[in-house]
């Protein structure tokens, strides 16, 4: 597991400031030809360097919007798609 923005190992979920409006979060999924050699406590740059050394077969991108103190859509499937 790599380092998060608090420089500690572990997952940090999306966490926009309360009342700050909508924030976009971008998640990438890579299908690789082989497993990368990764050590412990890597930062983002080291992970990207390791990925550059391996053929990438496919890439998926998810862009999600999130804000605090906003009522959720009663039907998530009816929420507008924002992406490219």
Q: What is the mean pLDDT of the chain?
A: 80
Structure tokens at 32: 């690789």
Domain ranges of the chain: 1-10+21-69
Count CA within 13 A, CB hemisphere, residue 19.
Answer: 0
Rounded to two decimals, what is the model's pTM?
0.57
Tens of pLDDT along 16-38? 887 888 889 898 898 999 998 88
What is the pLDDT confidence band of residue 60, given thresholds at 50, 70 and 90?
very high
Question: d(Cα 84, Cα 61) in Å, to the nearest integer?
Answer: 10
Nearest to 27 by CA among 11, 43, 38, 41: 11
């Amino acid at each position: 597991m790599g380092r998060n923005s608090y420089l500690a190992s572990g997952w940090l979920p999306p966490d926009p400031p309360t009342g700050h409006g909508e924030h976009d979060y971008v998640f990438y999924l890579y299908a690789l030809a082989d497993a990368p050699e990764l050590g412990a406590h890597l930062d983002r740059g080291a992970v990207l360097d390791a990925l550059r050394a391996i053929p990438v077969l496919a890439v998926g991108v998810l862009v999600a919007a999130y804000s605090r103190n906003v009522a959720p859509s009663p039907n998530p499937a009816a929420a507008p798609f924002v992406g490219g």
